[in-house]
Structure 1
Amino acid sequence: MSDGIRTKVGNSLAKVLGIDVQEKNYYLAEGDGVHTYVDPDPTTGEWIREHTPTWKQVGAYFYNIFPFIHWIGYYNVQWLIGDLVAGITVGAVVVPQSMAYAELAKLDPEYGLYSSFMGVLIYWFFATSKDITIGPVAVMSTLVGNIVIKTQEQHPELDAPVIASALAIICGAIVTGLGFLRLGFIVDFIPLPAITAFMTGSALSIIAGQVKSLLGETADFSTRGATYEMIINSLKYLPTAKMDAAMGLTALAMLYAIRSACNFAARRHPQKAKLFFFISTLRTAFVILFYTMISAAVNLHRRDDPAFKVLGTVPRGFKHAGAPQLTKEIIQSFASELPAATIVLLIEHIAISKSFGRVNNYTIDPSQEFIAIGISNLLGPFLGGYPATGSFSRTAIKAKAGVRTPLAGVITAVVVLLAIYALPALFWYIPKSSLAGVIIHAVGDLITPPSVTYQFWRVSPIDAIIFLAGVIIITFTTIEIGIYCTICVSLAVLLFRLAKARGQFLGQVNVHSVVGDHVLDEATAPQGQAIGGRTAYLPTSRSDGSNPNVKIQQPAPGIFIYRLSEGLNYPNANHYTDYLVDYIFKNTRKADLDADLNPGDRPWNDPGPRAGDSTDRESLLTRPTLQAIILDCASVNNLDVTCVQTLVDVRNQLDRYAAPHRVQWHFAHLNNRWAKRSLAAAGFGQPTSQLMDPNRKWKPIFSVAEMHGDASAVRSKLDSLDGKDVETGLQKEPFTKDSESKSVDESISTGVTSGDKTQLRKGSASKVIIENVNRPFFHVDLTTALESALSYSDSKGSPPS
């Protein structure tokens, strides 16, 4: 069906349904070197085409699911050396850490090794980050341990590994689905204060829970409650500490001592900084090996009665490999914990990967990272793994070790595999208190220092309060409640700011550019630079912090410029317009003051002055009448039905207020075609029939530019119009009715003055109109909008009669 037939059918159907689809046209005749321009409204079909992927995009979608294809063909020996060093270094760290974190998850140590192996082995296929390391982490392991305990209270027949593996599969499926749907942007709704509060509060909770193992306290108290309770109990039962304290405290002190010594040595000897970095990185492996040797010497002949708690038997190989058990009852047992587990699985990983991506000059794809995390957790349980995500400490080590590609994860997997098969006999002697020291040392870096909190306060006090409140909530309740509270409060603050957005009324200031200690003039200005100053628009409330000694002038009597600062949508539409109407009522008067002289004709909320009191009427006479409203829509990208209807209601309200005249509505910086279509459908963008006075030769004002020309050339030509240009400012002479009539009556079809017409004819290149000629009240900038409003108003603040 051709376009013409579709148009005829559509018009006929609209006529039957009583829909007016006709729009008044203001087509301008092409002449004097000026070409008109008409932009057709966007259509529903166009919207569908824009949002329907092409075959090329579909192919790119599947191609991007395996990012390693993009770079594996360029792999070289130099990359291999970097990956080998980083992979082996991280492997030496991940082995003791993963066994320690498994204890947090209420699992045997080998499950941590299984999770580490599967995480680093699978992740590189789908990774968009070369630095991140997937595996067990302290926070996720603690959450898994809490879920295991709660589930076993209701279902004691379920073993901890069964619950953990089922949780990994369900969380992995959820995250993978989000990734394939390309919903990675949802993590952007979790702000930095919520993430830092979660990490700090979780770190404090983990440290408090590890003190019992660090000191070897024999008292029976829970290490899974609120942080403050664990701290109190640890101090209360301090006398029950055993020999484990010596192995734990000295191991913790040694870890910090080695790191401090290496940092100090690196500062003193920068040329050997790389060496000291690797020594510092391997401190965890060294400390565990050192204390394992001590334990082996002490407990070699005391395996039945060790002098302190040891890790115990770790089976060689993948003894727990197999299909995980997944039933409806198991899923229902931890269903209420799935939101918190999914959030924890994502936020730490995405936050870390984004951070290291910015540091190392590359960009991650959050949706693709979802797929990588999800598939790692989907396949991990088949070898005995439990939920794993990105590790902050191991990622930092990997980045500093000089990793070149995600393939370094395979090297780490080989190291873990060797540990699983070659070192289980040695693992038996590892002191549990030393592992507790490793955990405390690792999570200590997650605590936000006071300097960052102070920076939060300087940037946004409300964000600092959210951060501190989140830490306090986690300290006195649980990690899950803290996560929910900080995210909900942050979203509530966002919605409050959006709903309570307040516009700004703007005034004019003539500004000049200054070089050194003098103002630019014709002798010093660069070629094409505007001479004689330019017009800037500043808030009349001075809320922008501009110099209070600068005088901001009202654009014209009865004409108001209103800037929408936060976009326009249904939550804030009424707040915007209420402030607009209230300000206009306070600074203008009705066009017909005698209309409500009879007290019975006045509205109940405006009873008027007392009998014999003429003060109010005299003060009103000094105010202008309302002529035009100019909306600065630079921040407006989309409009919904609610906000458009709100504008229509306000237009009707102000038309009644300005009766018998009508108020002009001009829109500047409206850059979205769908927003223009929305406003045009409500009758904006064109003068109404009441505004179009047949006795006046009013013409709209448009902005023109060189067709395929240079912007500086256009500006230099238009700047020479002796202050009459619609683009660079108002006329320098006072605007009077005579000057207005002259400028309007002598205007050509483009809306520029006769002086402009002569100048336009001088140009060799053709001129084109920037805006749609059918919508003369949609303007490219505020200056053109103000000139257009002035062209239909007089200097006394009243519309022409």
Structure 2
Amino acid sequence: MSKTVKDFGKRTIGYPEEIVPVISTKDWVKGCTRDPRKRIIDYLTSLFPILTWITRYNVQWLTGDVIAGLTVGIVVVPQGMSYAQIATLPVQYGLYSSFVGVFLYCFFATSKDVSIGPVAVMSLTVSQIIKYVQEKHPNQWDGPSIATTLSFICGFIVLGMGLLRIGWLVEFIPAPAVSGFMTGSAISIVAGQVPGLMGITGFDTRAATYLVIINTLKRLPKTTLDAAWGLPALVGLYGIRMVCDYLSKRYPQRARVFFFMSILRNALTLVVFTIASWLYVRHRADSKGKYPIKILGNVPRGLQHVRPPTIDPELVSVLGSQLPIATIILFLEHIAISKSFGRLNGYKINPNQELIAIGVTNTIGSVFGAYPATGSFSRSALKSKSGVRTPLAGIVTAIVVIVALYGLTPAFFWIPNASLSAVIIHAVADLVASPQQVYSYWRVSPLEFVIWLAAVFVTVFTTIEYGIYVSVVASLVLLLIRVARPRGSFLGKISLKKDTLGSQEEREVFVPMKDNGIINSEVTVVPPSPGIIVYRLEESYLYPNCSIVNDVIVDYVKKHMRRGMDLSTIKVGDRPWNDPGPGRGNSDLSEQEANARKPILHAVVLDFSAISHVDTTAIQSLIDTRNGLERWANHPVDFHFATVLSPWIRRALIAGGFGLPGSSPTVPQEIAAVVPYRDGLRDRISTDLREQDIEGGRVDSESLSSNDKKTPRFEGQFGTVLHSETPFFHLDLTSAVSAAESGLGRWESTQPFATA
């Protein structure tokens, strides 16, 4: 076949010959296998993004990284210990995870802002998984062993996803779904920490959120002395932040000073209440060594659990059902955060490389006794606002964590658990979506708002696992519904006029005819010429939606176009079983008159500007549409296509027999039959087009013969001889409609109601 597309509308003569070539399978294979050596080298070097910028590192970057690294380090130490409590692990495991995360991430990162470490949602998930395993196999594995094994397996899975470059799977989960389960998880975490804040005990704080809230309210009268270290700490955290925010607005020239004062609030609060705890409880231990309030107790000094991970096959088997939820949270939260900060700060992250980064972090982290770690929103925001310049700031943060592990553990003994709960509540509350954010979901897409709401409610009333599954499955179902129920519209045109330097320019624009399709109700949409249908598809044309498109077009034609055959002259017994036609009696005459007033179908113009893919089933459905319309019209119907920009779509349409006049003997009836049926006959109503005009010109009947290998010859209405194998493919909608209108009237004399 020729690899040129020439358009025969009035406005298309003069376009270059090779605009949309027909692509071959050989061309596609060549494109995939081009320069394999270079592709391998690029792949290997892309695994270590640090190589692209470390050679340009300078003192100015170092200053910004040191400030940001110290700032995040001051925050990550108390948060790491707090989040370990959420995970029901000893607090040192939160510090192990913090150290490994920030240290290793800088070597593989494509984001300068993200801070890896323990996070609230992942910690809650770890606690639920530990509870699940220990209920199934009590006293067989302790919490740290379960958490470390989980970190290794999930890290290995995510690392494999990154190496195989399948990070695009993350794109199937939209932002409202992520926000929904994060909001529900934040509410669950806050509800679970309130009993610790108030010193309330006696029930399972890892149960469903609504049960935790109910039990907490029931036991409020049993609040203990711990509340004196919890409530004031929480009030102090919010008070410091509000005062610093106010002063930053009041004195903008000192905003940076107040910013750093604000970020010190976690460390400052813990220092103050730790000193208060030490002063109060150091001489009040009872005979059993218990103190009046709950304090952190002994924290092992340094890295106590550095050893190769011991992977118990039986534990891996038990964890099998819990791995999907842990893995989803591990990469989903991180990718969402890294993309967000990439948009804010003007750089693009590589999702596959980010998967590699967190995969390596968690796999190697299991050697240090770390539990699963991922990107933290609060610490990443803090790192970004502190002026970080490169991912190397993570090394500075790691140094701060190591100093805390080796030098501050004696002081950790006196930290009140209630104050740690206050730090958790203060940090996690920011994960709850704001009313403005939720309202934006409603304004943009009410269905996605429903998904967000469902994720929140399911998380609160069941578990975070079900919340994530509901949000993900609902998002995928919505995507499938949008594909299977495509939007499309029949188009009319309006004329736009513009005065330019005393001359008036006018152009036609095609818009949907339903409800005018536009906001301005005073503008009149003019339908196409009688007998012409213009339809725009607004989704890819694929097997889930092609039958819907077929039904819409065929039903529209049967309602608005003239039936080509007068069934009143045919015996009832000879009529098709599924199309009986008019009944007996006086109604026949009125139906014939109504049919005679309708225009004769001449051509269908399809706007493919929004179509990015077609498949075999869709092409077969388009063939069925053509056959159905020609049976109704009792003559061939031209199909014109506008804006077919993909060579693969053009190739598929040509394979289906489109691009030529619909009466060509080479037009297939089936493109890929499920069950082949051959009888040697073509079920066509009319194939006699030997002398008809094409777009105002004439087609030589021999040029349409299936045995003729020459390019068809067309005489255009301008007297120019043009050659093309696909004259019904057009570069724009205007030229397609003009070409379709050029042959109006050719079937008037063949219609049974032509004299009506």
> Do they superpose with TM above 0.5?
yes
Matching residue within 389, 405, 408 for 2:374: 389
Partner SS state of residue 491, structure 2: strand
Match of 1:736 in 2: none
CA contact (8 A) 2:65 2:387 kept: yes
Match of 1:625 in 2: 600
Shift of the 37–436 alpha-carbon distance from structure 1 to 2, 3 Å rule, reads closer
Correspondence 1:582 to 2:565: no
Matching residue within 125, 132, 143 for 1:160: 143
Task: Provide the rounded CA distance (Å) in 2 between the counterparts of 1:470 and 1:302.
Answer: 47
Partner SS state of residue 311, structure 1: coil
Match of 1:252 in 2: 234
Correspondence 1:780 to 2:731: yes
Shift of the 83–596 alpha-carbon distance from structure 1 to 2, 3 Å rule, reads farther
Match of 2:25 in 1: 44
Q: What is the letter of the counterpart of residue 693 of structure 1?
A: L
Task: Provide the rounded CA distance (Å) in 2 between the counterparts of 1:326 and 1:165.
Answer: 9
Deviations 1:93-138 (A, max 9, x none): 0001101111111111111101000000000000011010000011
Q: What is the letter of the counterpart of residue 181 of structure 1?
A: L
Q: What is the letter of the counterpart of residue 681 of structure 1?
A: A
CA contact (8 A) 1:596 1:602 kept: no
Q: What is the letter of the counterpart of residue 299 of structure 1?
A: V
Correspondence 1:67 to 2:49: yes
Correspondence 1:674 to 2:648: yes
Q: Map of 1:261-660 to 2, 5 A cutoff?
A: 261-302=243-284, 304-513=289-498, 520-521=499-500, 523-524=501-502, 531-542=504-515, 544-593=517-566, 596-604=569-577, 605-613=579-587, 614-659=589-634
Q: What is the letter of the counterpart of residue 689 of structure 2?
A: D
Task: Provide the rounded CA distance (Å) in 2 between the counterparts of 1:610 and 1:173.
Answer: 75
Q: What is the letter of the counterpart of residue 644 of structure 2?
A: L
Match of 1:751 in 2: 716
Deviation, 1:335, is: 0.8
Q: What is the letter of the counterpart of residue 332 of structure 2?
A: I
CA contact (8 A) 2:68 2:387 kept: yes
Q: Map of 1:681-692 to 2, 5 A cutoff?
A: 681-687=655-661, 688-689=663-664
Task: Provide the rounded CA distance (Å) in 2 between the counterparts of 1:292 and 1:24.
Answer: 79
Correspondence 1:227 to 2:212: no
Task: Provide the rounded CA distance (Å) in 2 between the counterparts of 1:777 and 1:324.
Answer: 66
Q: What is the letter of the counterpart of residue 332 of structure 1?
A: S
Partner SS state of residue 143, structure 1: helix
CA contact (8 A) 2:567 2:582 kept: no
Task: Provide the rounded CA distance (Å) in 2 between the counterparts of 1:532 and 1:414.
Answer: 69
CA contact (8 A) 1:193 1:466 kept: yes
Shift of the 33–77 alpha-carbon distance from structure 1 to 2, 3 Å rule, reads closer
CA contact (8 A) 1:38 1:774 kept: no
Task: Provide the rounded CA distance (Å) in 2 between the counterparts of 1:251 and 1:596.
Answer: 92
Deviations 1:390-441 (A, max 9, x none): 1111111111111110000000000000001001100000000000000000
Deviations 1:162-188 (A, max 9, x none): 110110011001101111111111111
Task: Provide the rounded CA distance (Å) in 2 between the counterparts of 1:323 and 1:75.
Answer: 34
Deviates more, 1:149-158 or 1:307-316: 149-158
CA contact (8 A) 1:138 1:443 kept: yes
Shift of the 796–44 alpha-carbon distance from structure 1 to 2, 3 Å rule, reads closer
CA contact (8 A) 2:7 2:731 kept: no
Deviation, 1:543, is: 6.1
Task: Provide the rounded CA distance (Å) in 2 between the counterparts of 1:123 and 1:137.
Answer: 15
Matching residue within 171, 174, 179 for 2:157: 174
Deviation, 1:654, is: 1.4
Deviation, 1:300, is: 2.8
CA contact (8 A) 1:701 1:788 kept: no
Match of 1:196 in 2: 179
Q: What is the letter of the counterpart of residue 648 of structure 2?
A: W
Q: What is the letter of the counterpart of residue 784 of structure 1?
A: S
Partner SS state of residue 140, structure 1: helix
Flag structure 1 segments of 5+ consecutive residues without an equivalent.
1-20, 514-519, 526-530, 703-747, 761-768
Deviation, 1:794, is: 2.1
Task: Provide the rounded CA distance (Å) in 1 between the counterparts of 2:128 and 2:739.
Answer: 67
- Aligned-pair RMSD on alpha carbons? 2.6
Deviation, 1:278, is: 0.3
CA contact (8 A) 2:2 2:724 kept: no
Shift of the 553–415 alpha-carbon distance from structure 1 to 2, 3 Å rule, reads same
Partner SS state of residue 106, structure 1: coil
Matching residue within 120, 125, 149 for 2:131: 149
Q: What is the letter of the counterpart of residue 47 of structure 1?
A: W
CA contact (8 A) 2:4 2:21 kept: no
Task: Give the length in aligned residue pairs.
Answer: 705
Shift of the 35–67 alpha-carbon distance from structure 1 to 2, 3 Å rule, reads closer
Q: What is the letter of the counterpart of residue 751 of structure 1?
A: G
Task: Provide the rounded CA distance (Å) in 1 between the counterparts of 2:697 and 2:244.
Answer: 71
Task: Provide the rounded CA distance (Å) in 2 between the counterparts of 1:364 and 1:26.
Answer: 42
Partner SS state of residue 504, structure 1: strand
Task: Provide the rounded CA distance (Å) in 2 between the counterparts of 1:798 and 1:291.
Answer: 97
Shift of the 632–193 alpha-carbon distance from structure 1 to 2, 3 Å rule, reads same
Task: Provide the rounded CA distance (Å) in 1 between the counterparts of 2:64 and 2:15.
Answer: 63
| TM-score computed with the length of structure 1 as normaliser | 0.84
Correspondence 1:91 to 2:83: no
Deviations 1:562-621 (A, max 9, x none): 111112111110111101110110001122325754222333443414323311111110
Q: What is the letter of the counterpart of residue 639 of structure 1?
A: V
Deviations 1:651-707 (A, max 9, x none): 111111122x201111111111111111111111112336773334646889xxxxx
Partner SS state of residue 666, structure 1: strand
CA contact (8 A) 2:86 2:123 kept: yes
Shift of the 422–750 alpha-carbon distance from structure 1 to 2, 3 Å rule, reads farther
Deviation, 1:290, is: 0.8
CA contact (8 A) 2:20 2:645 kept: no
Deviations 1:480-527 (A, max 9, x none): 0010001111111121121111321111222113xxxxxx15x346xx
Deviations 1:595-652 (A, max 9, x none): 7542223334434143233111111100011111111011112211111111111111
Deviation, 1:535, is: 1.2
Deviations 1:44-95 (A, max 9, x none): 2222222336322221111111111111111111110100000001000000
Partner SS state of residue 542, structure 1: helix
Q: What is the letter of the counterpart of residue 43 of structure 1?
A: S
Match of 1:17 in 2: none
Task: Provide the rounded CA distance (Å) in 1 between the counterparts of 2:437 and 2:181.
Answer: 15
Partner SS state of residue 677, structure 1: helix
CA contact (8 A) 1:565 1:635 kept: yes
Deviations 1:522-547 (A, max 9, x none): x346xxxxx54111111111363342
Q: What is the letter of the counterpart of residue 544 of structure 1?
A: G
Partner SS state of residue 512, structure 1: strand
The percentage of aligned residue pairs carrying the same residue is 45
Q: What is the letter of the counterpart of residue 641 of structure 1?
A: T
Task: Provide the rounded CA distance (Å) in 2 between the counterparts of 1:701 and 1:372.
Answer: 64
Task: Provide the rounded CA distance (Å) in 2 between the counterparts of 1:686 and 1:616.
Answer: 34
Match of 1:735 in 2: none
Task: Provide the rounded CA distance (Å) in 2 between the counterparts of 1:475 and 1:468.
Answer: 11
